Structure 1
Amino acid sequence: MTAPQPAAPAQPPARAYDLLRDLWGYGSFRWRQGEIVAQLAAGGDALVLMPTGGGKSLCYQLPSLLRPGVGVVVSPLIALMQDQVDTLRQLGIRAAFLNSSLSAEGVREVEAALRAGELDLLYVAPERLLMEGTLRLLAGVEVALFAIDEAHCVSQWGHDFRPEYQGLGVLAERFPGVPRIALTATADDRTRADMVSVLGLEGAPQFVASFDRPNIQYRIAGKDNAKRQLLEFIRTEHAGDAGIVYCLSRKSVEDTAQFLSDSGVPALAYHAGLDHAQRQEAQARFLREEGLVVVATVAFGMGIDKPDVRFVAHLDLPKSMEGYYQETGRAGRDGEPSTAWMVYGLGDVVNLRRMLAGSAAPEWVRRIEGAKLDALLAYCETTACRRESLLAYFGEAYQGPCGNCDNCISPPQVREMTREAQMALSAAVRTGNRYGAAHLTDVLLGRDTDKVRQWGHHTLPTFGVGAEHDERTWRGVLRQMVSLGYLEAGEHYGLSATPKSRELLKGEVPFLLREEVLQPRRKTASKARAAAPSDLPPSAQPAFEALREWRGQEAKAQGVPAYIIFDNKTLAAIAALRPSSLATLGTVSGVGAKKLEQYGQAVLEVLGGVGEPA
């Protein structure tokens, strides 16, 4: 039975506000951070769903300082631990991690510091935490709290399921008096229920923020030479910006990264086929260099704190709305305008449908996974506000239009094409329900190819009945028919009519084709301007650029990402204020006492070397 939760005060203690100001340099909490801090500081548990960039880390880092002992953070990725520890040390917080990247001597040093009470926060991989030796080590010290980051990993329905996460229920048994907090940016109702059950959080309050990321513009288009489309998108809208491009296969990752590099876009590949050192180098370069594009499989980016990723592009369909939301959420953590861009085609739909049909999972599992894929495809094909559709999937009501998605900016046209859909079904059935989309398109267009003639399909009644439309239109029709379940792909990618298609053949339901429209293009921003926050006054631009150059040199000297020194938002605030004293500089949000002491004088000298704005 779950122990009753202590009654938490409505507000955190006064010391929490002192730490928030002195260490992080913030004058107030965001959203319900204060309530979460109060809950944990009082010894209670919590489950937190907060979008990427919403401030989840503070919810457990600050209570770890308020309570006696060390805060233990379960984190799934080495790169994330390193990034968080570097950030905390910049703030003057004693932090370390235990993972496979450490040497035996390094492990001994961290364990000695832990026993001596010299750590405020310790990051641990779930596999390491569940070792009996680690559990005994923690039992011998005072633990302030346990934070389970990326907690959706406990659920087999989560898009990043990690079996080792399911063992974390042991924390409630071995450390019954220690508060636990589970955090994630993405979880539907089923995943959330698993988090509660597996982690023993039945009595814990749930803090669920809005899933909306208003700064992200959602865009989806039909696939037509994906790499060329990607290059045009980057050159037109995101030249010089940092971005992540997701592909399903390792080969596609490598080919796309090479293509971008050959086309003058700084890009590198990341996938599980690379050795550990290569993956580490890719992560490190992405965090430390500006304007770099990483082309990766979905394993990349989970937990990456880089705030200035300006775009996330998908060249292949994700498998679920949860995966799509999590991956697109890696763009624009700093709140600045960013783009979630995706192209997809009939091949993507066919591949995912075939993978699902060929899965060895039980029928009930395939049914649920199929429903998740259906929801994603419906989102792709919708003509309504994308933000409204996306948030509705997570149970959040949103009154569109949002004005910041492709469907709102440039509403697609919809054509009633029931007759054409019936033609396509007829072509599939009459050719034996075993030919792919390309062959069916040839039959519908009346192309007298060798294959069409070989099989005698030029004699069919459906041969040439669709000649009034072009190939692109038929690709769209077939794609939507597979998406909506009127056609399904067989073992060799042949399309066959499904039982559901009868209602379409009988004219009982209409078939409405979403037609692609040209998307508006932004002028390409200069690399310098693209890095600056969108609300930075032009008069402050020289100061911002001077500070940014200084920050880059400082970060390189320390071997840390530039944003760990100061993020762009803080640099912009300093550039706009132009403080002439340490006291005034200390009033800027994001400038805590430790950073003021370490960097304050250098910042004032940089500003002193920049001419006064006109």
Structure 2
Amino acid sequence: MSSPYPPDRQLVLQRFQQIWGYTEFRYPQDEVIQCLLEHRDALIVMPTGGGKSICFQLPALLNQGLTIVVSPLVALMENQVQELRQRQLPAALLHSELTSPQKRQTLWALEHQKLRLLYLSPETLLSPTVWQRLCQPQLQINALILDEAHCLVQWGDTFRPAYRRLGTVRPALLQHKPAGTKMAIAAFTATADPQAQQIIQHVLQLQQPQTILQSPYRPNLHLAVNIAWTSRGRRQQLLRYLQARPNQAGLVYVRTRRDGEALADWLTQQGYATVAYHAGLATNERRAIETAWLNGTMLFVVCTSAFGMGVNHSSVRWVVHFHVPLLLSEYVQEIGRAGRDNNPSEALSLVSEPTGWLDPQDKHRQQFFLKQDHKHRQLAQQIMKQIPGKGEFSVVTRQFKEADVALSLLHSTGQLEWVDPFHYVIHRSIVPHTKLQSKATQTMTQYLTTKQCRWQFMLSAFGFLKAAEALGVGCGHCDRCLSQNR
């Protein structure tokens, strides 16, 4: 039988088979790989478990030169690089937790063009040590990949302000490269509604990107929301849920480290072998927890959003949100850890009753988030009045506390422009436009309280209207559909 691929693509498929052992690409891997091989920009929205990493790893290995992968979490970088190194592939990572010898070894490999893939956080990418080496004219850089690009939208304004400076990385690097050099930018995520897609394209300055959007709908994933009338009742519901699933792998999501540790201690007292996983743990502690979970000696982990991205466990049967996230995009990311083997799986959310009289913790958490956001925006406007209209990032951040967050927020409201990753210009005459964080949290609340099919609500919220319509009267397997069918 003749191959459906032209000769050049047959070579791509052959290399794919040699490295990963698969005989065919999964849609839309082939299209994305070809796009990056042609040095074109891309915005890719693919469901969790859809094989996103292969889409940028394979072109990086086929091309001469370096591909930079900007990743939000150390755990995510380490898991991907470990898998690549096990296949004897030239990949490395840089982050603050590495030892000095490890950093020196990677920087040497970078300088001597021994790498095809280099994983970095936004902050490490923009650090002087790394930036100086990336600017070397002889260092060929093929692509800048933003993995888990939804983090730019969710975290870029306040929690990780370096994300807002990434749009000027390409033009700044190209100034140091030979004329005619092409450098693609591609953003990958499992969740981006139409507004988030616009923010990603705008911040990264994508140029006529190829856009591939896949619906997050998972027919094997059953969604449910239960009201917890009291704090004690929430724990008892979780306990009953776990007792009914004695040998199944799962995840329990909370929103803070303190909540995670308190819940893990309580579950340990109930006889369960579990621990709290969060970004505050040392690398060896995180690796030990991930290994125990992956090999089945620990069936479930109590975790914050730091857990899951890049941890590939195909047979997770359930995800419980002991505390729901504030944004629907975070929720979709986290429930996407379940059922990656396409077998029936469950996602349960425990929420306070709507008034919050008996259990106000969900309402307090949302109010705290909005209050902090408002506080940051007020601070940004105050700092704008005090700093020069043109300036250098390092100088301003030394002079003013939280200036990095303020500059990021001013950029998000259209009042600031990044000339390059390290210099800004303020446009004081521009009236700030605000990001509607309260509207985003309202969407999550509406999902939790909706009377319609939960999958249809979610698909509509993310702009997949045809996919929502295709479900007809509903998915038939969420709690809303099942209650209507009784």
TM range (shorter): 0.7 to 0.9
Q: 1:525-545, CA deviations, whole angstroms, 9 ceiling, x for partnerless residues?
A: xxxxxxxxxxxxxxxxxxxxx
Work out which of the residue numbers 298, 322, 326 in structure 2 matches 1:315. 322
Aligned residue for 2:240?
232
Going from structure 1 to structure 2, the CA distance change for 1:367 and 1:133 (only over 3 Å counts) comes to closer
Aligned residue for 2:205?
200
Work out which of the residue numbers 165, 168, 176 in structure 2 matches 1:167. 165
Aligned residue for 1:82?
78
Partners of 1:383 and 1:407 within 8 A in 2? yes
Query: Does residue 370 of the first structure (1) align with residue 438 of the second (2)?
Result: yes
Aligned residue for 1:47?
43
Partners of 1:222 and 1:344 within 8 A in 2? yes
Q: 1:107-149, CA deviations, whole angstroms, 9 ceiling, x for partnerless residues?
A: 1212222333332322112211112331232233222322111
Q: Which runs of 5+ in 1 are unaligned?
A: 1-8, 414-614
Q: 1:488-520, CA deviations, whole angstroms, 9 ceiling, x for partnerless residues?
A: xxxxxxxxxxxxxxxxxxxxxxxxxxxxxxxxx
Aligned residue for 1:146?
144
Aligned residue for 2:226?
221
After TM superposition, give the deviation of residue 216 of structure 1 in Å.
1.4
After TM superposition, give the deviation of residue 357 of structure 1 in Å.
6.1
Aligned residue for 2:476?
403
Specify the SS of the correspondent of 2:145: strand
Q: 1:394-420, CA deviations, whole angstroms, 9 ceiling, x for partnerless residues?
A: 01122242122112233389xxxxxxx
Paired amino acid for 2:442:
D
Partners of 1:246 and 1:296 within 8 A in 2? yes
Specify the SS of the correspondent of 1:13: helix
Deviation larger for 393-402 or 30-39:
393-402
After TM superposition, give the deviation of residue 277 of structure 1 in Å.
5.6
Q: 1:243-265, CA deviations, whole angstroms, 9 ceiling, x for partnerless residues?
A: 22122344432232122223232
User: In 2, distance between residues paired with 1:146 and 1:51?
Assistant: 21
Aligned residue for 2:311?
304
Report matched runs for 1:226-375 at 5 Å: 226-236=234-244, 238-271=245-278, 278-279=285-286, 281-287=288-294, 289-346=296-353, 347-352=360-365, 354-355=367-368, 358-359=371-372, 361=374, 368-375=436-443
Paired amino acid for 1:45:
D
Going from structure 1 to structure 2, the CA distance change for 1:408 and 1:126 (only over 3 Å counts) comes to same
Partners of 1:159 and 1:320 within 8 A in 2? no
After TM superposition, give the deviation of residue 241 of structure 1 in Å.
2.6
Aligned residue for 1:503?
none
Partners of 1:10 and 1:38 within 8 A in 2? no
Aligned residue for 2:391?
none
Deviation larger for 10-19 or 395-404:
10-19
Query: Does residue 390 of the first structure (1) align with residue 386 of the second (2)?
Result: no
After TM superposition, give the deviation of residue 230 of structure 1 in Å.
1.1
Aligned residue for 1:510?
none
Partners of 1:75 and 1:149 within 8 A in 2? yes
Aligned residue for 2:91?
95
Deviation larger for 35-44 or 90-99:
90-99
Paired amino acid for 2:166:
L
RMSD: 2.8
User: In 2, distance between residues paired with 1:126 and 1:353?
Assistant: 27
Going from structure 1 to structure 2, the CA distance change for 1:290 and 1:34 (only over 3 Å counts) comes to farther
- For normalisation by structure 2, the TM-score amounts to 0.76
Count, aligned residues: 404
Partners of 1:241 and 1:290 within 8 A in 2? no
Going from structure 1 to structure 2, the CA distance change for 1:88 and 1:151 (only over 3 Å counts) comes to same
After TM superposition, give the deviation of residue 16 of structure 1 in Å.
0.8
Aligned residue for 1:70?
66
Q: 1:262-297, CA deviations, whole angstroms, 9 ceiling, x for partnerless residues?
A: 323221012456566645544454445544311123
- For normalisation by structure 1, the TM-score amounts to 0.61
Deviation larger for 249-258 or 322-331:
249-258
Q: Which is bigger in relative contact order (C-alpha 8 A, separation at least 6)?
A: 2
Query: Does residue 117 of the first structure (1) align with residue 113 of the second (2)?
Result: yes
After TM superposition, give the deviation of residue 360 of structure 1 in Å.
5.5
Going from structure 1 to structure 2, the CA distance change for 1:243 and 1:160 (only over 3 Å counts) comes to farther
Aligned residue for 1:191?
196
Report matched runs for 1:208-607 at 5 Å: 208-224=213-229, 225-236=233-244, 238-271=245-278, 278-279=285-286, 281-287=288-294, 289-346=296-353, 347-352=360-365, 354-355=367-368, 358-359=371-372, 361=374, 368-397=436-465, 398=468, 399-400=471-472, 401-411=474-484
Partners of 2:326 and 2:366 within 8 A in 1? no
User: In 2, distance between residues paired with 1:199 and 1:41?
Assistant: 19
Aligned residue for 1:451?
none
Partners of 2:453 and 2:478 within 8 A in 1? yes
Aligned residue for 1:511?
none
Q: 1:518-573, CA deviations, whole angstroms, 9 ceiling, x for partnerless residues?
A: xxxxxxxxxxxxxxxxxxxxxxxxxxxxxxxxxxxxxxxxxxxxxxxxxxxxxxxx
Partners of 2:370 and 2:437 within 8 A in 1? no
Larger radius of gyration: 1
Paired amino acid for 2:114:
E
Partners of 2:40 and 2:209 within 8 A in 1? yes
Going from structure 1 to structure 2, the CA distance change for 1:358 and 1:169 (only over 3 Å counts) comes to closer
Specify the SS of the correspondent of 2:484: coil
Partners of 2:324 and 2:351 within 8 A in 1? yes
Specify the SS of the correspondent of 1:217: strand
Q: Which runs of 5+ in 2 are unaligned?
A: 175-181, 354-359, 379-431
Deviation larger for 200-209 or 296-305:
296-305
Q: 1:361-408, CA deviations, whole angstroms, 9 ceiling, x for partnerless residues?
A: 159999822222222222222222111111111011222421221122
Paired amino acid for 2:332:
Y
User: In 2, distance between residues paired with 1:220 and 1:369?
Assistant: 23
Paired amino acid for 1:378:
Q
Going from structure 1 to structure 2, the CA distance change for 1:360 and 1:252 (only over 3 Å counts) comes to closer
Paired amino acid for 1:21:
Q
Specify the SS of the correspondent of 2:301: strand
Going from structure 1 to structure 2, the CA distance change for 1:159 and 1:297 (only over 3 Å counts) comes to farther
Q: 1:30-54, CA deviations, whole angstroms, 9 ceiling, x for partnerless residues?
A: 1121111111101111111111111
